[in-house]
Structure formats: C-alpha cells, structure tokens
Chain A
C-alpha cells in the first residue's frame, strides 16, 4: 500500500531530474581528451623530477609534499628516487620547465573537471601575470 502515492512519485521524478542534471547539461557537448604539450625545455630535460607515469598519477601528492617541505620544514632541496636534486618550488622549478601552464596544466584539468585549483591565486602563472601587468602599464 502506498499512501500519498501522487506526492511520492512526483518527488521521485523531481529528485531524479535534479540528480541527472549534469548529464542533461553536458549532453550536447563532447570533448576530446587533450594531448599533453611540452615546452622545448621540458622535452629536452626528458624526464620530470620523477618518472612520467608517477608524475601523471601522483603530481598532486608530490605538490602537497613539496609545499609542506618548503613552507613548514624549510627543506627546499628534493632528492628523487634516482638521486638527482631539485629546488622545491612550484613557481621557480615546476613552472620554469612547464612555462606553458595554459596547455600543460589547464587543458587537462579542465577536461577532468578539476579546474577549481587555488594555486594560481597566489603563485604566478608564467603565461599570464607578466602580460597582465605589462598591459596595464602600456595603457596608462
């Protein structure tokens, strides 16, 4: 026996509609998986601070570890599993090679729906900030 059947069914329909909004919303869009694009400098280096597969999977964890090592422990030298050392710095080490943030970071993050990162609220985007300030200087 179902009491208030009308109300319950109407509620379920509304719930289902809400729940599937992302599918309706994105139904007319298809996006191709973006291709990774490296700068000449990154290509020349051949390998990041850790092997490519590891970076692809775990770069977010590594960045978190780097952040805590540099800011909290004051340890700004990273020695990787192969014994090679790097300066721990997103802005000065990572972005030195991966200067094409728009292509290297943003496209994939956008594709994966994880573009709401606050890194660049403070860290400088090498593709942007210089231009931003230059343009305001040029106008005045």
Chain B
C-alpha cells in the first residue's frame, strides 16, 4: 500500500482545515447563500421606512425643561436598560451631557450663558461612516443597508469592546455584570421589565438602536414619542420633503465631532 500513516495524517489534517475554512470562505463571498428556503421573509407593511433615519434635537425647546427626563426614562424602560447604580458599570442609551462635554472642541469661556453648562441630550449618532461597525470583528454591530441605522446583533457579540474604543462619542455601554442580577441590598438592577423586549446578558456591548423594533411595527422611536415639548424630531434626512429636512433648511444646526468624518445623523439646533 502506498498510503502510510504519515500520508494519512497529512491528508486528514488538510481536509479538516479545508472543511473549516470553506464555510468561512462561502460566508465571505456571499453571506447566507448556503441556506435556501422555500418560505419568505419580509418587512411588515405598516413598518416605517426611510433611506436614512435622522434626528433633530431642538435645544431651544429642550433646555428650558431642565429637570425633564421623559425621553431617557421611556427609552431605558422600554429597552430593559438596567440601573447598576455606579458610573463604572453604567449602561445608557440616551442621556444628558453639559455642552462643554458633548461638544468639547466648541467650548469657550465666552460661550453664550444659556448654553455653557446646560445639559444636551446625547445618544448614538447612527453615523453614516460608523467606526464601531468598521472595527467589529464579527459584524455584531452593523449598519442596516435599508435605512442607515447602526444596530447590534446581540447573539453575535463576543464582548471584545473594540467598538467602545472606536466610538468617538462614548455612546456604547458594556454589560460588565449581569443586568438581571441584584445589588447587595437584593434589589434587581431592572426595576421593572418590558415583557416584549429582551434584556441583555453579561459580556455584550449595547447602545441606542433608533428603536428598530418599534419602526418595524410602524411606531416612532420611544424617546421622540415621550417628549412632550416637541424637542425631538425624527425623520428621513434623505427625503427633501421630510420634516427633518425642512427644519435643517431653516435652522443653523451642529453635530458632534463632524471633523472625524463619521457623518453623524443626529443634529442639534442651538
């Protein structure tokens, strides 16, 4: 026999390698093409759609309501965002930062009084060129082709936190501990739970998803719906007849760190 043990091991090893590698190669060339189905998947007819979802935050309407937290509370409740009670482990999707911190390069000691130390609402900017997507090694964070929303596949996240290093806006939070756990006093980190939305498990990153799950049902994002002062406007910035485009035409708006080339989709009227 011309087939000795050495030869056999060589061939077996190589075939195993080829087998492991080929699936990866197929995935790379045409994701999902390995499986064929006879059934169909589609977006709901009632779903809200856009080419590029964007948000305009009118600080003229927001700032006078200094103590208002409606948008944040609604968002965090709907998405089961836990409250760990310490800044190190903190998870947040939408929150307030003083102007000097939200726009550090714009800060000046002679800035208009009404802006200086006032809190600005900040959230994920759903960048057109998102660094978090660029760096993610598993495509767990990805930009939706249909509407530009930068969202996450929690099933796939390995918790390497490269995206947190990549995001220049501090918009990403890691689950340093189990969000379903309890603190030393035995109180759950999730005070109440929305049965229609999952929680996360420890060890994955999360962030604002522009309410993809609500848009799919034909509802606007929770924060926009919660704002009683009309300070948050959500719409398709690629549609020149949309409300956000109308506002952007008529007002001077700024974005956070546009010089980094990320092209944020959240605009501020100051």
Contact = CB atoms under 8 A, between A and B. Distances in A.
A59 to B, nearest CB: 14
Given A75-B42, A77-B44, A136-B182, A130 B201 contact: no
Interface string A57-92: 000000001011111111111111100000110011
Interface string B19-35: 00000000000001001
Contacts of A4: none
Interface string A91-128: 11000000000000000000000000010011110100
Contact of B199 (A72, A76, A122): A122
Given A65-B35, A122-B154, A77 B182 contact: no
A133 B188 contact: yes
Contacts of A73: 41
Nearest to A139: B186
A96 to B, nearest CB: 10
A70 B44 CA distance: 11
B216 A136 contact: no
Contacts of A126: 195
B195 A72 contact: no
Interface string B140-154: 001010110001011
Contacts of B195: 91, 124, 126, 129-130
Interface in A33-50: 50
Given A123-B198, A140-B187, A75 B41 contact: yes
A19 to B, nearest CB: 21
A74 B153 contact: no
Contacts of B212: 74
B41 A136 contact: no
A65 B37 contact: yes
Contact of B44 (A72, A76, A132): A76
A75 B35 CA distance: 17
B146 A80 contact: no
Contacts of A87: 44
Q: How large is the interface on A (under 10, 10 to 19, 20 to 34, 35 or more residues)?
A: 20 to 34
B190 interface: yes
A66 to B, nearest CB: 8
A79 B42 contact: yes
A18 B101 CA distance: 60
A69 B41 contact: yes
B38 interface: yes
A18 B39 CA distance: 46
B227 interface: no
Interface in B121-153: 142, 144, 146-147, 151, 153
Given A71-B155, A121-B201, A122-B154, A78 B188 contact: no
A14 B188 CA distance: 47
A123 B195 CA distance: 9
Interface of B: 32, 35, 37-44, 47, 142, 144, 146-147, 151, 153-155, 182, 186-188, 190, 192-193, 195-201, 212, 216
Given A77-B42, A118-B201, 20 more contacts: A65-B35, A65-B37, A69-B41, A70-B216, A72-B142, A73-B41, A74-B144, A74-B147, A77-B41, A77-B44, A78-B40, A79-B41, A92-B196, A121-B201, A123-B198, A124-B199, A132-B188, A136-B188, A139-B186, A140-B187
18 contacts: A50-B39, A65-B41, A72-B142, A73-B41, A74-B43, A74-B47, A74-B144, A75-B43, A76-B44, A77-B44, A79-B41, A81-B39, A92-B196, A118-B201, A124-B193, A126-B195, A132-B188, A133-B193
